[in-house]
């Protein structure tokens, strides 16, 4: 039977003590008599001069005659009758007090006079032969409270601020100083993320290794009988949106052990030593509940490599946190039964000590999904949607090369939104195609003001891209070309990239030539160029410098790479000024050569280029069949069909309008798949969304 959680809080004790003190003060401040305040001595004279010979006042007590004096008048029967029979408005309050008194003996009615002259009052009372007593009283509670109250307020404000700064997480309700407590979310006792391994599509290799860890926790004897030990940690590495955190959620949903989840930034605090303290508290909690799993998302927030120059751009607090994490993961005090899962998309910046075996025994690379994996991901995200009958999921997978799992989820949602916007009852294939265009190119801006001359220049620019890509063997197959403004682009050309495990020099040069086709068309037709080729120039510049200085694809530089995978040479260049000049010259020569090549190709096919541009001006959007009608069938298409791994029916080919070579993930035009984990920051290819279907637009 599970132990019942104790909900008692120490704050209830504090509250009861406070209420008790207040009640005690109120009780001690009251007497059995009724209190009435007045400051008029004429009222006293009226009471003391009753109709009877007897004075109406039994006793007068002057309290603290030297410091804030006041007098207590105790009335007798004659005085009470005199007050009740009086019609003077001065006695109104006293009458109410007497009538409200529940005392049977009304001779104990008491009223207080403040702000008086005790000497004058005593003399008047002596003349009337009324007994006067003197008393000195001290309000101990009020005195103590006056001293303590400012300190109590200051301490309360300080505690409130500290709790707000610490996030209020971690320790129990009775913990005040919980800044150093772990902020990890705990999943146990049936509490799950509602995500299982069945919700994780694709990622078969990564899922297999993660499932093995969960199986070890469920059935350890299967492995321990052979002498195997449970892996101490697994590091999930991959581009954003590929499903690293989703895998961790599935582990939390499947594992029947306590699961601690937190982010790397949760260790970071403005106070010194808080990060290390939270690491210690986290592992302490995990060891108490072992076997357990700890998941640290975005571990690069605290796991960055420690540099030698601590005086420059250093963070001692972050390093202290990392050192504590290293010690807890694999130090003298081994954490038996505690498995560490971590996720990052910046594995290149992590500290080498963190990456070693014994801390992270497994490094699981979660790559962009290929064709089959994208199809599986689509089937998961299409379940909640109302779809048209016989929707071809494989067609959708072929239209989304380079899309991550998160991108596919977003695509399905965008398609549903587009269908709802058009008042459709079901989501159709065209809605998904519109969603792809919306995500890649942005929202259409049909009302954007463009002059006829600008529109003509844009049409020839995009026609130049389409022409060169059609005439070159290694250029990406065309999907469609449009001159309708989308997002920041005045026009765009979409291509379906090929799958490439490696990239050759010829392939990169063809892609560079295709990218420069837009500007070359402007030069050829109008004999002037514009700023519309900004994105094209950026792309080819990165490709040229990568070929020369990183991949050793230049004859003059030779087989030399100046790429630093660890990023240690951020502020220094590993080559001389003379070599830098050569690199600049070779990159420039390479770009200019491809530009001249594009000019020559377009000059040879100027009539077809013009025809294509005129058709683009009239229809605003052209597809592959339009290029077939103008240029004829590409001679490389048959070769591509023979290389396809997955056969397609003729119906599917007519719907797709595209014949891709392997119709899977986009190959990175500059960096081969072998170097995907080590993308150089200065020559990094376009982002994921730009890689999906390369857009070569006329960006202003």
Residues with active-site annotation:
462
By CB atoms closer than 10 A (0-12, 13-18, 19+), residue 654 is exposed
Helices of type H across 30-139: 41-48, 77-85, 92-100, 118-127
SS3 115: coil
For residue 556, the tally of other CB atoms under 10 A from its CB is: 10
The kind and range of the H/E element at 474 are none
The kind and range of the H/E element at 268 are none
Q: How do beta strands 621-623 and 338-344 pair?
A: unpaired
Distance between CA atoms of residues 256 and 110, nearest Å: 74
Distance between CA atoms of residues 513 and 58, nearest Å: 117
299: which DSSP letter?
G
The pair of structure tokens assigned to 105 is 């003996």
Residue with tokens 């376009």: 686
Which CA distances in Å does 691 have to 400, 445, 531, 591, 642? 10, 23, 22, 21, 25
Distance between CA atoms of residues 521 and 619, nearest Å: 19
Distance between CA atoms of residues 366 and 364, nearest Å: 6
Handedness of CA 77, 80, 82, 84 (dihedral sign): negative
Q: How many CA atoms lie within 13 A of 135 on its CB side?
A: 12
Residue with tokens 């009724």: 34
Distance between CA atoms of residues 165 and 360, nearest Å: 32
- Give me the torsion for CA of 24, 26, 27, 30, rounded to 10°: 150
For residue 263, the tally of other CB atoms under 10 A from its CB is: 18
Check if the beta carbon of residue 635 is closer than 8 Å to that of residue 547. no
Distance between CA atoms of residues 177 and 57, nearest Å: 60
**Cis peptide leading into residue 291 (ω within 30°):** yes
Cβ within 8 Å of residue 199, ≥6 positions away: 246, 250, 380
Which of 330, 352, 183, 327 is CA-nearest to residue 265? Answer: 183
Name the E strands within 149-268: 185-187, 233-237, 259-263
Check if the beta carbon of residue 445 is closer than 8 Å to that of residue 424. no
Handedness of CA 401, 404, 408, 414 (dihedral sign): negative
Q: How many CA atoms lie within 13 A of 217 on its CB side?
A: 23
Check if the beta carbon of residue 532 is closer than 8 Å to that of residue 700. yes
Which of 485, 433, 479, 434 is CA-nearest to residue 459? Answer: 485
């Amino acid at each position: 039977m599970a132990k019942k959680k104790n909900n008692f809080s120490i704050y209830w004790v504090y509250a009861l003590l406070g209420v008790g003190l207040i009640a005690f003060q109120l009780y001690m401040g009251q007497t059995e008599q009724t209190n009435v305040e007045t400051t008029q001595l004429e009222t006293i004279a009226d009471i003391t001069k009753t109709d009877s010979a007897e004075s109406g006042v039994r006793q007068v007590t002057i309290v603290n005659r030297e410091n804030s004096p006041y007098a207590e008048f105790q009335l007798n029967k004659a005085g009470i009758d005199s007050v009740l029979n009086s019609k003077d408005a001065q006695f109104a309050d006293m009458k109410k007090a007497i009538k409200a008194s529940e005392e049977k003996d009304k001779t104990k009615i008491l009223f207080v006079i403040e702000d008086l002259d005790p000497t004058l009052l005593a003399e008047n009372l002596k003349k009337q032969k009324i007994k006067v007593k003197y008393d000195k009283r001290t309000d101990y509670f009020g005195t103590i409270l006056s001293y303590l109250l400012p300190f109590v307020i200051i301490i309360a404000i300080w505690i409130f601020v500290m709790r707000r700064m610490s996030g209020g997480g971690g320790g129990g309700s009775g913990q005040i100083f919980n800044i150093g407590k772990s902020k990890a979310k705990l999943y146990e006792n049936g509490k799950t993320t509602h995500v299982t391994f069945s919700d994780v599509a694709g990622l078969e290799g990564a899922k297999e290794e993660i499932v093995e860890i969960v199986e070890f926790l469920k059935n350890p004897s299967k492995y321990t009988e052979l002498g195997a030990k449970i892996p101490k940690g697994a590091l999930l590495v991959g581009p954003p949106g590929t499903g690293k955190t989703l895998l961790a959620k599935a582990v939390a949903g499947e594992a029947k052990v306590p699961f601690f989840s937190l982010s790397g930034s949760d260790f970071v605090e403005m106070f010194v030593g808080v990060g290390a303290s939270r690491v210690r508290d986290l592992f302490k909690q995990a060891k108490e509940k072992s076997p357990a799993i700890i998941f640290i998302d975005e571990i690069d927030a605290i796991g960055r490599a420690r540099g030698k120059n601590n005086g420059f751009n250093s963070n001692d607090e972050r390093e202290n946190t990392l050192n504590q994490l290293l010690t807890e993961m694999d130090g003298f005090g081994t954490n038996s039964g505690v498995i560490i899962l971590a996720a990052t998309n910046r594995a290149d910046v992590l500290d080498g000590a963190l990456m070693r075996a014994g801390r992270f025994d497994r490094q699981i690379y979660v790559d962009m999904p290929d064709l089959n994996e994208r199809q599986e991901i689509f089937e998961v995200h299409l379940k909640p949607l109302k779809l048209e009958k016989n929707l071809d999921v494989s067609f959708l997978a072929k239209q989304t090369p380079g899309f991550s799992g998160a991108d596919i989820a977003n695509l399905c949602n965008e398609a549903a939104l587009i269908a709802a916007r058009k008042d459709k009852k079901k989501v159709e294939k065209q809605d998904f195609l519109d969603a792809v265009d919306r995500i890649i190119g942005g929202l259409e801006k049909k009302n954007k003001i463009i002059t006829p001359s600008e529109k003509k220049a844009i049409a020839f620019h995009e026609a130049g891209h389409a022409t060169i890509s059609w005439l070159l063997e290694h250029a990406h197959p065309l999907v469609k070309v449009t001159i309708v403004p989308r997002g920041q682009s005045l026009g765009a050309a979409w291509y379906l990239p090929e799958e490439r495990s490696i990239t050759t020099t010829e392939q990169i040069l063809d892609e560079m030539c295709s990218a420069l086709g837009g500007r070359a068309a402007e030069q050829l037709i109008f004999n002037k160029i514009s700023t519309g080729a900004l994105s094209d120039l950026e792309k080819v510049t990165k490709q040229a410098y990568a070929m020369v200085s990183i991949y050793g694809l230049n004859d003059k530089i030779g087989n030399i790479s100046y790429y630093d995978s660890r990023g240690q040479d951020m502020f220094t260049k590993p080559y001389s000024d003379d070599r830098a000049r050569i690199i600049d010259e070779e990159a420039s020569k390479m770009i200019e050569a491809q530009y001249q090549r594009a000019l020559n190709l377009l000059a040879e096919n100027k009539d077809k280029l013009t025809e294509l541009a005129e058709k683009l001006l009239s229809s605003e959007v052209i597809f592959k069949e339009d290029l077939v009608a103008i240029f004829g069938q590409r001679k490389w298409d048959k070769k591509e069909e023979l290389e396809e791994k997955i056969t397609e029916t003729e119906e599917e080919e007519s719907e797709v309008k595209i014949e891709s070579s392997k119709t899977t993930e986009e190959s990175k035009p500059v960096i081969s798949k072998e170097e995907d984990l080590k993308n150089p920051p200065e020559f990094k290819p376009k982002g994921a969304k730009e890689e999906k279907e390369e857009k070569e637009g006329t960006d202003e």
